[in-house]
Structure 1
Amino acid sequence: MNELLEVFLVSLRDGYVQVSAFVAATVLAFGLLQYWTGGAVISAVEDNERLQVLFGGLLGLTPGCGGAIVVMPLYVRGTVSFGTVVATLGATAGDSAFVILALAPEAALYAYAIAFVASVATGYLVDEVGLGVSRVDAAVAQLSPAATPDGGTVVNSSVGPNPAHDYGGPAPTHAHETGPDRHSRVLTPFSHFAHVLWWVTAVAGLVFGTLYLLRGGPEVALVADLGFDGLFTVTGIAGALLSLYLYLVGRHYVGEGEIARARDSFGSIYDTLTHAAMETSFVTVWVLVAFLAYEYFVLFSGANVATLAATAGILAPIGGAVVGLIPGCGPQILLASVYAEGGLPFSALSANAIAQDGDALFPLLAVDAKAAIVATIYNFLPAVVVGVALHFLWGPVFGMAEFGFGVL
C-alpha cells in the first residue's frame, strides 16, 4: 500500500513540475500573442496563400494543440487550403511534446524537426496535385452520392468563402459547454481563488522544473521540508491537485468553460490567464493518467517495456504511427512517457510525431469528418515511411534507433 501511494504522489509531483509548468508557460505565451496582436497571426495565415502550408506547419509545431486548433476553422471557412490542414496536423507536436521537451529535449529537437519537414512537404504535394479537393471529393461522391463535397481551396487559386461550411456547427465532442454554466456564492469565488493560487504554483513549478533540468534531472526525494526536494514535492503535488480541481470543478465557475478549443483572440489579460490555466489543467489530467498507467503497469506486471519494444524491431515505428492515428493527446502522452523512460526507439517517436493530430482533429471531425479522415490518412503514410527509414538507414549511422536517445 505504501508503494502504491508513493507511486501516486511521485506521479502527481513529477507530472506537474516536469511537464505541466512548462505547458502553462507555452500556452500562456501563445495566448498573450493572440491577445496583443488581436488575431493578427490568423490574419497572416489567411492573407499569404502561397505560404499557408508553411505557416500551418509552424503553428502545428508549437507545443500543445493550440496553434493547430486555430487552423481548423480557417479551412472550414474556406480560407486556407487542404494541404495546409495536412501540414498543420502532421507537424502538430500535441501535448506529448511537453513530455519530450521536458525529459528528452534533444530527441524533441530532432523528432519534431523531421515531422515538420515531412508534413510541410506532404502538404505542398497535396495542394499541387489537388488531392485534397477535386479528387477526394469525387471519390467521396461516388461512395456517398448524398454527401456534400468539402469545396476546399487550393494554392494558386483565389481563396474565397466556402458556403458549405459555416463554422457554426456543433462543438467538438470532447469540448464542454460554453460557460460559466453555474454560479455559486461559495464555489465561484473559491474557483477564482484556486485559479490565482494555481498560477502561483505554476510559476514556482517553472522555477523548480528549470533548476531540476539544470541539475541534470537528479533523483528527488519524496519529502516535505524547506530544502529543494521538499519545495519541489510540495509545489508539484499542490499544483497537480489544483489542476484536478480546475478541470473537474473550477471550469464550471470561471473561464469560458471549454477545453482544448483555441480562440482567435482574448478580451483581457485575466481572460488569457484563465484560458491558459484551463488548457494546462486539461493537459495535466492526461499527463497524470499517462504517468500512472505506465508506472502501475510496470509495478504490477514487472514487465520491461524496453525489452518488449526491442523485440518488435521494424514494428516499433509502425506501431508508433498507428498510435498516432488515435485522436486526442492521451495515447500520445503515454507513448512519449514510455519513450522518456527508455522504452521505445527514436524511430517510433518520430513516426508518432508525424502521424498524431492531437486535439486539433476534434474541431475538424465535428464539422467535416471526411476531411479529417483523409488528412489523417495522408499523414499516416509519410509517418510509416519516415519511421521505417529511421529504423533501417539513419539509426545504425547516427544512433537514433537506440533506446533513450536524447533522454536526460
Structure 2
Amino acid sequence: MIPLQSLADTLGISAQEALDILIFSVRDGFVQVSAFVAVTVLIFSYIQYRTGGRLVTYLEENERLQPLAGALLGLTPGCGGAIIAMPLYIRGSVSFGTVVAALAATAGDAAFVILALAPEAALYAYGLAFVSAVLFGYAIDMYGLGVGRVDDAVARLGRPMTDGGLATTNVASGGPSIPDYEGDDAHCRVDDDSPVESGPMTTISHAVHVVWWVVAAGGLVAGVLYLARGAPEVPLAFGLSFFGLFTVAGLVGTVASFYLHFVGRRFIGEGAAGRIRDDFASAYDTFQHAAMETSMVTVWVIGAYLVYEYSIVVFALDIGALTAAAGVLAPIGGALLGLIPGCAPQIVFAGLYAEGAIPFSALTANAISQDGDALFPLMAIDMKAAIVATIYTTIPALIVGIALYYVWPFADFGFGVL
C-alpha cells in the first residue's frame, strides 16, 4: 500500500481514489478491449494455420492490394483487425501505407458504442474513414507525401526500440515503403522465439494459458452484454450476475495476461511478441500464439487506461467541453483527441456523441485519427514508426473533419442518434 499511497500523494488524490482507478482500469481494459482483440487475432491466426500461411504470402505478392487490405482490416469493429497489420509491417510483409490505412480506418472499440446507439452515423463516419484510409494509404506508398520531413522531426526522439526497419526512410529517399531489414538474421529477428525452458513452470504456464482462454470467453460475453446495454457504468461485484462476470473476467484475465507476457512466454515458446507467424504446428499452437499476442496488447492497454484515468482526475479534464467547442474547433479537437493511443478516451467521445454533445464532423475526424489499441504493438517494437504513423492518420482526419464542418448538410449535433 505504501507505493499506492506515494502515488496518491504525488497526484494529489486520496489513496482510495487511486486504488479505485487502478482496479477499474485493470478490469475494464481486459473486458472492453482484450477479449475482442483475442477473437480477431485468433481468427486470423487460425486462417494462417488452415491455409499454411498462404494469406500472408498472397499479401506479400500483391503489393497493390496492401493498403486496401489494411483498410479492410481496420474497418472491422474493435482494434483486432488493425492490430494484425502491425506485425505484418514489422516483418516487412506490407508497406507503411498499409499501416496508415489500417490505423486510419479503425474506429476501435468506440465503434461498438456508435453502432449500437447511432448506427446511421456509424455508417457514414466509418464509410468516410475507410475511403480516406484507402486513398491516403495509396498516396503514401506512391508519393511519400513529405514523409522525410516527419522523419526529421521525430528522429530526435532516438532510435527505434529494436533494429527493425522504418518504412518511411525508404519512402523519403524515393524507394518502396516496405521495411528493409538488413543482415543475415533479419528474418530470425522477426520470427524467432525465445528459448523454451522446461520444468514445473512449463506446466503452470500452459495451465494459465488454458485458464486465460476460459476467462477471455467470459470476458467476451461480458463485453457484448456491456455494449448491448449501452456501455453503462459497471460497479465492482463478484456475485453470479453480469456485473460479477464483468469484474471477475476483467481482473483474472488481466492477471493471467501479465503472467503470460512477462513470465509464461519463457516456458511455452512464444517469446517474440508482436510478430506474425508464417504457420502453426497445431490448433493449440494457434490458440497459444493468439493468447500471447493479446496478452502483450493487454499490458499496453492497461498502461494507457491508467495514464488516461489518472490524467482525467488529476487535471480535471472534460473531454466534452474540450471537443464540443464552437465552430470548426470541434472537428479539430476530435482529430487531436485521436492522437491519444488506446480506446478509453475514444469510447468516452463516442458516448458524448450519442448524447448529442458533439457534432458529426468531430465524430468523423476522431474516427479517422484514432488508432485505438492497434498502435501498441508497433510502439512496442518500433516507437519512431508508431509516432510517424499516428501523425499521418491525423492529417486526413483534419482535412475530412474540417471539410464536413463546412459542406456536409448533416454535420451537426445528433445526426443518426437513435
TM-score norm. by structure 2 comes to 0.71
Instruction: Give the secondary-structure state (helix, strand or coil) at the position aligned to 1:331.
Output: coil
Residue 143 of structure 2, aligned match among 119, 127, 131: 131
Instruction: Note if 1:191 corresponds to 2:226.
Output: no
Contact 1:291–1:337 under 8 Å retained in 2? no
Give per-residue Cα distances to partners, 1:163-206, cap 9 Å, x unaligned. 9755866699xx99953346253432222211110001011111
Partner of 2:18: 4
TM-score (norm 1): 0.72
1:397 aligns with 2:410: yes
Residue 269 of structure 1 corresponds to: 283
What amino acid does structure 2 have at the position aligned with 1:152? P
Corresponding position: 1:90 with 2:106: no
Q: Which runs of 5+ in 1 are unaligned?
A: 141-146, 154-161
| Displacement after TM superposition at 1:150 (Å) | 5.9
How many residues matched? Answer: 369
RMSD: 4.2
Distance in 2 separating the partners of 1:163 and 1:225: 50
Q: Over residues 330-361 of structure 1, what are the superposed CA-to-partner deviations in whole Å (9 max), with x where a residue is unaligned?
A: 72435424424539945455435445662575
- SS, match of residue 342 in structure 1: helix
Identity of aligned residues (%): 46
Cα pair 1:191 1:250 within 8 Å, conserved = yes
Shift of 1:220: 3.1
8 Å Cα contact 1:19-1:102 kept in structure 2: no
CA distance in 2: counterparts of 1:296 and 1:276, whole angstroms: 30
User: Greater CA deviation, 116-125 or 43-52?
Assistant: 43-52
Matching of residues 1-400 of structure 1 within 5 Å: 1-48=15-62, 51-62=65-76, 63-64=79-80, 65-69=82-86, 71-72=88-89, 76=92, 85-92=96-103, 97-105=107-115, 106=119, 110-125=124-139, 130-132=142-144, 149=173, 151-152=175-176, 178-181=192-195, 183=197, 185-311=199-325, 314-315=328-329, 317-318=331-332, 321=335, 331-340=341-350, 342=352, 345=358, 347-348=361-362, 350-355=364-369, 358-359=375-376, 379-394=393-408, 397-399=410-412
* Per-residue deviation, 1:298: 3.2
What are the superposed Cα offsets for residues 194-224 of structure 1, whole Å, 9 maximum, x if unpaired? 1110001011111222233333434433222
Structure 2 segments unaligned to the other structure (5+ residues) = 1-14, 152-168
Counterparts of 2:226 and 2:123 in 1: how far apart (Å)? Answer: 20
